Structure 1
Amino acid sequence: MDWSKFRKDMWTAFQAMRFAIDEINNSTKLLPGITLGYDITDSCLEVVDIQASFRFLSGKRRTELEILNNYTAYQPRVIAVIGPPSTDVAITIAKMLGLFLVPQISYLASGEILSDKMRFPSFFRTIPSDKNQANAMSLLIQKFHWNWIAVIGSDNEYGRKGVNKVVELASAAGTCIAYQGIITTSPEVVIQVINNISSTVNVTVLFSNELTAQVFFSLVVAQNLTSKVWIVSEAISLSQEIIKIPNIESIGTVMGIAIKEGQMAHFKEFLDKRVNFTNPRIMPDPGLEENTDSRGSCDQACSQFDWLSAKQLNSILYRLEKRVSYNVYSAVYAIAHALHNLLQCHALEQQKQYITSKRWTDEPAVSSLQAET
């Protein structure tokens, strides 16, 4: 495995989920007598997420999704899904889960489109909608009386809709949009955009995912575009990869929108523990077939994963990752509180039927927790 590509931020988010589940399972007040479990899959590609979602929706003791005339009494393998982080992928997954009214809570998918309850009836999130950060950017522009700006976004749902919202709000406030464009990871496309803004504007809004922003700012440095003002979206404002770009400080002043940091008592101590996969088959054996279920349990200590200890992470990186991790932590607790409210004092067998019927007769209990939509 190429450990250089390992995303420590997502690992920390995963640990936040485990941390929350451990707290809930050890609680005598929240879901007393009930143990929560979880099934986790890598969110590396959209096709992987779709395959995982079909598995989550498959009936208990089944490996495939049944085609039925009526799903009102259908019981999927899971009662809720947390994630995925990307708006583009979350839209696809939300359409699938929405057909079954399985609650989905994303911790990073901020696209405004996901607030449409007619299209995504069971989608919730613990991160504000992009309309909020677009509004914050517009207010920042007004505060400094910048009336001639460029607005650029990455070529995905997050970037395109973010650009449109910023342009809408800034224009309504009297700001002139001198240039509006979409960038990809193609150097030719990025250089053309840089040439368009280099001599026309001093203030640029960048609404982009991290990968595209890395290419963009690397070329901004290479093209010697200096002493400008940049307003960047939350997906990149605290990016450690962009900070590492040589001479990045030459580009000028960077202002960004960031996720609010939450507090999780004793989470850092939880991270400091050594990682231990107690079931050796948590790591798939080379000889296993591709569709073999080789997942296992994990509880924290294994020499292969010593380097994942939070003690190896510098304090700045820990603080950045904790922002996303708190969103995951909050999502787990939202599900737990919703279940607690649904189950109340019913007997175990009644509880199972109650969960199934409530999915189809009432608004999802998660909505009563005032989750961000």
Structure 2
Amino acid sequence: MHKPLPLQCTSLSFRGFQFAQAMLFAIEEINNSTDLLPGVSLGYKIYDACGSLARSVRVALALANGNEIVSVPSETPCTRPAQVQAIIGETSSSPCMAIATVLGPFYIPMISHFATCACLSDKTKYPSFLRTIPSDYYQSRALAHLVKYFGWTWVGAIRNNDDYGNNGMATFTETAKQLGICLEYSVSFFRTDPSDKIQEIADIIKASTSKVIVAFLSHMDMGVLIYELSKYNLTEYQWVGSEGWIFDSETAAMDKHHILDGAIGLSIPKAHVSGLREFMLDVKPLSLSNDGLFTEFWESLFSCKFKGLKSTAEIERECTGHEDLTGVQNSFTDMSLMPIFNNVYKGVYAVAHALHNILKCNKTCNNNVLLDPFTTLLHIRNIHFKTKEGDEVYFNENGDPAAKYEIINWQPRENSTVEFVTIGLYDTSLGPEKQLNLKNKSIIWMRNSQQVPVSVCSEKCPPGTRKVLQKGRPVCCYDCIRCAEGEISNITDSVNCVRCLPEYWSNERRVTCVKKETVFLSYEEIMGVLLTAASLFGTCTTAAVALIFFKHRKTAIVRANNSELSFLLLFSLTLCFMCSLTFIGQPSEWSCMLRHTAFGITFVLCISCLLGKTIVVLMAFRATLPGSNMMKWFGHAQQRFCVLGFTLIQVLICIIWLTTSPPFPFKNFKEFKDTIILECALGSALGFWAVLGYIGLLAMLCFIFAFLARKLPDNFNEAKFITFSMLIFCAVWITFIPAYVSSPGKFSVAVEIFAILASSFGLLICIFMPKCYIILLKPEKNTKKNMMGKKAPQSL
């Protein structure tokens, strides 16, 4: 067993060196100021954690104990507090969490410039942590809204396998779900993972159907991933990035295969700190300090070695210490991280303003005040000031600044360079609808395309369809099902189809409800014209017969069978023909009540006349028998009373029907799906069937009496013709009932009109046509002698 070797920093990070320089610039500016902390100089100690959590915690413990090594020249008077008053750093979230956990019980303020994990906002765990960069809670939500803005609902996700990546992606996933965005895959890795783990991620990307990848990575992990993906030339994916890598020039320089071309993402808003660039590029103070840091920095900057410090490795050239810095183009001279340098700058100034308030500085400061980290922390939380560039600096209750991001687009330029173009802004201080604001600038997408990429699991469902989820798949994967008849959807990606109102129906495309066609038996259609013509023909025919009878009213055949009842029968038949017209046309309240009652009363009047005629024939035969006195009891007055009595009963039934539950116009939506049938509802079905039943009862009585009188020995026995007419009448109305019940819509009305006309024509033809035949064509038979002549009865 061997004792593990101590941690060693193997190389100089220019990025970390720049952050340190930004802190030094702020401290020097404050120490030279006469307004802020006059007469007080800030001291500092810089530690290199070398990207190690263990080393970070070790430094934090040393600071908390006050055991850090301090080198102060003896000739320099210095009054130093027992403990460090604040820490500026760390750069990443995980080291910050470790340090903040250690420093929490001591309430030593820690202000980070680049640690964005939302978990660090938890003041119960990290009471002394503050930062000058927004929390990833806002960035993650902003990324989700950005993805939604471009219509990408099917995306992949890659994250750091650390607190920064896991927490940031958790918030993104939660927000994406709320916005209807689905993740096809979500994978994590760390830069120290074996290559087969990263290769596995590349295989997942290649097998995916989504074309957008959300990468919540640091610039170091992104560099490792790009190196692996470059082996597969995966350039057909649109990348969406977090601030950890989206505006990092080193990452852009590594992308030799243009995998990230057209990437968009969020970055800290551009900033400018006057004098900082010049300070960083001025290395004279560093070279005059005789510090070993200068030697290491100079050798890394110019890739050389000073004489006497050569290692066994081959060095191309020897350092002179007078190399020209003006022509150097590398990460040290790159000032693209100026927004982060500004965060360091603001963090130092936050501490200075807090100390200024504690020491009650005006023109001078009270040096007798004993400083302690807890008091410093309380004052830092409450500071609110503006930097010389006009930036407001303050912290909310979670120790976070206001969240504002620029939206960056990677636009490739000549010589394989990339320009970070600002295409919009995300500002959480605005209302929800105004937070995301994209400028009217042309965006370059993957493969240098001008067209916005499409990344959906299923295409949008057009109007007229609805979404049906695919079993076992995310909600973004669905099928588009056409709306059923009578339902519509007039928006894209509708979840449900809306049923049309009863008076409307869906059009062919199922996108709008159109008014249903109203259907009723009208005078304009062929069936209505034919029935109207038949009704008028029957009316005219009846009138012609009445005219013939009136003209020959004194002849034997007219006088033989009670001419008064004959004329009343012709009048009632005329009404029967005409009442059929009330069934044609659009139903109204009056027409509905009139058609059934008029039909019922006129037919009862008609059958009452026939019943009277039949009874007269029977009574006349009985009167010829010896000792019979029947005709005395059934004279003209009794016949009129009989007809009137039978008719009044029907009138009474109709009055009861109309007063209790009369027929009314009704819109029938159920018979046909796409049409409205305008019809007359019966109101009381009992009233309707009572009217028909009473007509049927009288018809049966009339048929029975006529049947009994059919063989009486008259030369012209009218009972036979009444029997035939009642047979036709009963046959028509018996067949009417099933036909009426089964006929849909306006056809039921047509069936009822047909039954009225058929039975009316049957009565007219059977009873009056034989008489008209004799009157017009056989006048020699129209004599009293011929009417009174006896002959043997014929079988029916």
**One of 135, 146, 153 as aligned partner of 2:141:** 135
**What are the ranges of 5 or more consecutive residues in structure 2 without an aligned counterpart?**
1-7, 71-80, 296-318, 384-393, 401-796
**One of 56, 70, 81 as aligned partner of 2:87:** 81
Aligned to 2:374: 359
Q: Note if 1:108 corresponds to 2:108.
A: no
CA deviations 1:331-356 (Å, max 9, x no partner) are 1000001111111156312x12xx33
CA distance in 1, matches of 2:254, 2:34: 49
Aligned to 1:280: 290
CA distance in 1, matches of 2:58, 2:100: 14
1:45-56 paired onto structure 2 within 5 Å: 45-56=52-63
CA 1:341–1:306 in structure 2 vs 1: closer, same or farther (change >3 Å)?
A: farther
- Return the offset for 1:194: 2.2
- The answer to whether the 8 A contact 1:107-1:328 is kept is yes
Aligned to 1:348: 367
After TM superposition, the structure 1 stretch with the greater mean CA deviation from structure 2, 86-95 or 311-320, is 311-320
SS at match of 1:33: coil
CA 1:347–1:243 in structure 2 vs 1: closer, same or farther (change >3 Å)?
A: closer
Please tell me whether Structure 1 or Structure 2 has the larger radius of gyration of its CA atoms. Answer: 2
CA deviations 1:111-153 (Å, max 9, x no partner) are 1110011111111001110112111111111110101011110
1:289-300 paired onto structure 2 within 5 Å: none
- The answer to whether the 8 A contact 2:15-2:332 is kept is no
**One of 199, 204, 207 as aligned partner of 1:196:** 204
Q: Determine what percentage of the aligned residue pairs are the same residue.
A: 29
Aligned to 1:240: 249
After TM superposition, the structure 1 stretch with the greater mean CA deviation from structure 2, 16-25 or 2-11, is 2-11
Aligned to 2:66: 59
Stretches (4+) displaced over 6 A = 60-63, 303-308
After TM superposition, the structure 1 stretch with the greater mean CA deviation from structure 2, 216-225 or 84-93, is 216-225
- Return the offset for 1:50: 1.8
CA 1:363–1:78 in structure 2 vs 1: closer, same or farther (change >3 Å)?
A: closer
Structure-2-length-normalised TM-score: 0.40
CA distance in 2, matches of 1:305, 1:146: 54
CA distance in 1, matches of 2:153, 2:167: 21
Aligned to 2:102: 96
CA deviations 1:71-127 (Å, max 9, x no partner) are xxxx64311101111110100100111111111101111111100111111110011
SS at match of 1:150: strand
CA 1:120–1:155 in structure 2 vs 1: closer, same or farther (change >3 Å)?
A: same
Count of residue pairs brought into register by the alignment: 339
- Return the offset for 1:250: 4.1
- The answer to whether the 8 A contact 2:226-2:255 is kept is no
**One of 323, 327, 351 as aligned partner of 2:339:** 323
CA distance in 1, matches of 2:202, 2:68: 55
After TM superposition, the structure 1 stretch with the greater mean CA deviation from structure 2, 103-112 or 254-263, is 254-263
CA distance in 2, matches of 1:17, 1:319: 15
**One of 28, 33, 37 as aligned partner of 1:31:** 37
CA distance in 2, matches of 1:284, 1:271: 13
After TM superposition, the structure 1 stretch with the greater mean CA deviation from structure 2, 14-23 or 41-50, is 41-50
SS at match of 1:348: coil
CA deviations 1:154-200 (Å, max 9, x no partner) are 11111111111111111110111111111233321222222223232
CA 1:157–1:272 in structure 2 vs 1: closer, same or farther (change >3 Å)?
A: same
- The answer to whether the 8 A contact 1:227-1:253 is kept is no
CA deviations 1:310-339 (Å, max 9, x no partner) are 763469963313222111111100000111
SS at match of 2:123: coil
1:210-249 paired onto structure 2 within 5 Å: 210-245=219-254, 247-249=256-258
CA distance in 1, matches of 2:115, 2:197: 26
- The answer to whether the 8 A contact 2:161-2:189 is kept is yes
CA deviations 1:263-298 (Å, max 9, x no partner) are 21111222232242544365599xxxxxxxxxxxxx
Aligned to 1:291: none
Aligned to 1:260: 269
Aligned to 1:208: 217
Query: What root-mean-square deviation, in Å, do the aligned CA atoms of Structure 1 and Structure 2 show?
Result: 2.9
CA distance in 1, matches of 2:136, 2:277: 29
- Return the offset for 1:307: 6.5
